[in-house]
Amino acid sequence: MAMTVTSNTGNIGPILTQLFEQAPTFIALLRGPDHRFELANPSYLNLVGRHDILGRTVAEALPDAAAQGFVNILDDVYRTGTPYKALGALFVIQTEEGGPGRECYLDFLYQPIRDENGDVCAIFVEGSDVTERTLSERARRESEDLYKGLFDAIDEGFCIIEFMDGPHGRDSDYVHIQANDAYARHAGIPNVVGQKLREMVPDEADAWIARYGAVLKTGEPIRFQQELVATGRYLELAAVRIEPRERRQVAVLFQDITARRRAELALEKLNVTLEQQVEERTAELMVAEEALRQAQKMEAVGQLTGGLAHDFNNILAGISGSLEMMNTRLAQGRVGDLSRYINGAMGATKRASALTQRLLAFSRRQTLDPKPLNINTLVDSMLDLVIRSVGPEIKVETVGAAGLWPTFVDTSQLENALLNLCINARDAMPNGGKLTIETGNRWMDERAARMRGLEPGQYVSLCVSDTGTGMSQDIIERAFDPFFTTKPIGQGTGLGLSMVYGFAGQSGGAARIYSELGKGTMICIYLPRYSGSIDAADPEAEASIDAPRADGDETILVVDDEPLVRMLAVEELQDLGYSVIEAEDAPSALRLLNSSRQISLLITDVGLPGGMNGRQLADAARTNRPDLEVLFITGYAENAVLNHGHLEHGMHVMTKPFQLDVFAQRVKSLIKPQG
């Protein structure tokens, strides 16, 4: 070890010399106003990296120090006599070899030394190299700043808690030692740092201690949601232990999810009430649907009423007329003829009861009650009703397949469906047309079945086709929808086809629409074949009555499609001595009217089949026979056809049923006296 005291005075005591030599701090003495090195210890020489500085001025020996302003400071100290102290001052040392300078941070003191006169004569330099400390401090500060910046910038609330011993034992409380800005925002608790849990929320403290205490104990991070009762907030939290465990610290990261939680709760509640609402609406809808179904049935019934009234009136006319004729014959003693009238009356009664039967069947409301059925039988039994329902302008034809397979179906519902289809067909043919009811056996292969939404197999079809308006593709697609109607309010319910569709589906079958705009429509119901047999029912026997003919002076033309009514009228008139000719519809009546026959009176029903009603017949007849007297007989609500009772001169009306003698008198009054 070199023990040389670098001094040009040589009068420093040996202990001081040793101290000077071995001091870890750097020491130098600068003499005179130009700061000439008089003393410099090894630490100093090491620091500046040179050994040839004694006797030289600072400016000469260390030009880089001069360049960095240190000489100026020395000048000031020398001039003013005021010491100068620097902490962590940067000094870039240019070593002898040149190259990039070495950065050091120095704590040092420039202490002026005065002579006997009190004048500054030298400067004592003492300091230490704090580069390492400064750099590590700076690094720490930077990382702290970074941490703090992050800490404050993150959106999540963040705090560090430190466990402490409380009245409830070791680690039974904690204090918040750090919290970021978001903490107050999320937790709703300002200035939390320094606050102790048990003082903040005494009631909730145990729960929090249990949670975070477990993290502290086990080192297992946790994540959970928790309501802060005190602030009414809902938080999502995560907690991790800060290592090492001896720090007794846990970091807590959390977010206020109150808004989300409220939305979730509201949604949950909404879902519950929504279900309830849907249930209520569905119930309401079902009630409304039921009501509408009922209304639709009532509508169908209403549409039938007119036809039925007509039908019953004709039957009644037949019965009462027969009875009156029997009365007359009895009075005349012609009892041989009586059985004819009795048969006539009985036949009419039978038809009345058949009608009543249909009506009862129609109004029956039942859940599906399927029975083996031959649809041909059903069609036959419905025919009367259908004909009455569609009115006389529409010709009804049935094509029942021979050997039709039986099916297993609710009869009254199928009747209802058939009627719905017929009424729709009627509505599609406001100017008359042809309605065909057709049955058939169908083998459906994979493809045919798939097209109709069915399983492949054997089916029975019931198709109703019309020559009406037809349906566009758009309407076909929606026609089965409940409540879909193209008819004016009050006329259509939109439930007819949906009933047909639903019923067919429920019966294991399907319903399909085939339609061409402007040409017509066919709607088919497919029902699965039934493999069992059917007990045969007695077919209804209808009485058929022939109308007799007789000669007379005046000729009267009687037009009525009801043979019995016509027969009674004809016979009554013949009894009165008139010559009577008859026709069952307008075209055949017109043929007679266009002939040269003398005809004094036209008696006609208003509702006639074959596309021309009684009123139109009368108008046509009067083009050739302008003076022809006309008597309309009607049992139907046909006011509109008869211009609401405002009839032309020479036109008269009688409502069925009527007494035959009243009828006779009326006729007599209309026949022009033979001139």
Q: Which residue is nearest to Mg ion (CB)?
A: 496
Interface with ligand ADP (CB under 6 A), residue from 343, 486, 506, 616: 486
- What's the token pair of residue 587? 């075209």
- What's the token pair of residue 576? 């009165």
Which is nearer to ligand ADP, 389 or 521 (by Cβ)? 521
Interface with ligand ADP (CB under 6 A), residue from 112, 318, 321, 468: 468
For residue 244, say if its preceding peptide bond is cis, omega within 30 degrees of 0: yes
Per rule CB under 6 A, is residue 671 in the interface with ligand ADP? no
Identify the DSSP state of 101. Answer: P
To the nearest whole angstrom, how small is the minimum distance from the Cβ of residue 299 to ligand ADP?
8
Per rule CB under 5 A, is residue 424 in the interface with Mg ion? yes
Q: How far apart are CA 135 and CA 235, in angstroms?
A: 41
Which is nearer to Mg ion, 126 or 427 (by Cβ)? 427
Q: How far apart are CA 574 and CA 340, in angstroms?
A: 16
To the nearest whole angstrom, how small is the minimum distance from the Cβ of residue 423 to ligand ADP?
7
HSE of 248 in the Cβ direction (CA atoms, 13 Å)?
13
Nearest to 389 by CA among 300, 480, 520, 463: 300
Per rule CB under 6 A, is residue 112 in the interface with ligand ADP? no
Residue 435: count of CB within 10 angstroms of its CB: 24
Which is nearer to ligand ADP, 300 or 576 (by Cβ)? 300
Nearest to 41 by CA among 89, 95, 83, 4: 4
Coil, helix or strand at residue 14? helix
Q: How far apart are CA 170 and CA 179, in angstroms?
A: 23
To the nearest whole angstrom, how small is the minimum distance from the Cβ of residue 289 to ligand ADP?
13
Interface with ligand ADP (CB under 6 A), residue from 303, 467, 493, 555: 493
To the nearest whole angstrom, how small is the minimum distance from the Cβ of residue 551 to ligand ADP?
49
To the nearest whole angstrom, how small is the minimum distance from the Cβ of residue 375 to Mg ion?
20
Q: How far apart are CA 220 and CA 561, in angstroms?
A: 100
Per rule CB under 5 A, is residue 509 in the interface with Mg ion? no
CB 616 within 8 A of CB 626: no
Q: How far apart are CA 272 and CA 208, in angstroms?
A: 33
Q: Which residue is nearest to ligand ADP (CB)?
A: 496
Identify the DSSP state of 76. Answer: H
> Which positions from 418 to 457 touch ligand ADP by CB under 6 A, shown as an x/- string?
--x---xx--x-----------------------------
Number of residues that bind ligand ADP (CB under 6 A): 23
CB 413 within 8 A of CB 573: no
Per rule CB under 5 A, is residue 521 in the interface with Mg ion? no
Q: Which residues pair with 123 in a beta bridge?
A: 30, 112
Per rule CB under 6 A, is residue 519 in the interface with ligand ADP? no
CB 122 within 8 A of CB 76: no
Nearest to 391 by CA among 357, 438, 426, 441: 426
To the nearest whole angstrom, how small is the minimum distance from the Cβ of residue 417 to ligand ADP?
10
Q: Which does 479 bind (CB under 5 to 8 A by kind): ligand ADP, Mg ion, none?
A: ligand ADP
Which is nearer to ligand ADP, 465 or 507 (by Cβ)? 465
CB 602 within 8 A of CB 615: no
Q: Give the interface segment with Mg ion, choosing from 252-260, 385-393, 496-504, 577-585 (CB under 5 A).
A: 496-504
Per rule CB under 6 A, is residue 651 in the interface with ligand ADP? no
Per rule CB under 6 A, is residue 471 in the interface with ligand ADP? yes
> Which positions from 380 to 409 touch ligand ADP by CB under 6 A, shown as an x/- string?
------------------------------
Which is nearer to ligand ADP, 458 or 472 (by Cβ)? 472
Q: Who's near 65: CB < 8 A, 6+ residues apart?
A: 48, 58, 71, 91
To the nearest whole angstrom, how small is the minimum distance from the Cβ of residue 385 to ligand ADP?
17
Q: Which does 498 bind (CB under 5 to 8 A by kind): ligand ADP, Mg ion, none?
A: ligand ADP
Per rule CB under 6 A, is residue 41 in the interface with ligand ADP? no
Q: Which does 493 bind (CB under 5 to 8 A by kind): Mg ion, ligand ADP, none?
A: ligand ADP
Per rule CB under 6 A, is residue 498 in the interface with ligand ADP? yes
Interface with ligand ADP (CB under 6 A), residue from 322, 469, 574, 604: 469
To the nearest whole angstrom, how small is the minimum distance from the Cβ of residue 420 to Mg ion?
5
Per rule CB under 6 A, is residue 527 in the interface with ligand ADP? no
Q: Who's near 501: CB < 8 A, 6+ residues apart?
A: 480, 511
**Per this entry, what is the length of the chain?**
675
- What's the token pair of residue 87? 């902490």
Q: How far apart are CA 200 and CA 193, in angstroms?
A: 11
Per rule CB under 5 A, is residue 496 in the interface with Mg ion? yes
Q: Which residues pair with 438 in a beta bridge?
A: 399, 463
Position 580: which residue type?
V
To the nearest whole angstrom, how small is the minimum distance from the Cβ of residue 467 to ligand ADP?
10
Q: By the criterion CB under 5 A, which residues form the site for Mg ion? A: 424, 496
Q: By the criterion CB under 6 A, which residues form the site for ligand ADP? A: 420, 424-425, 428, 466, 468-471, 475, 479, 484-487, 492-498, 521
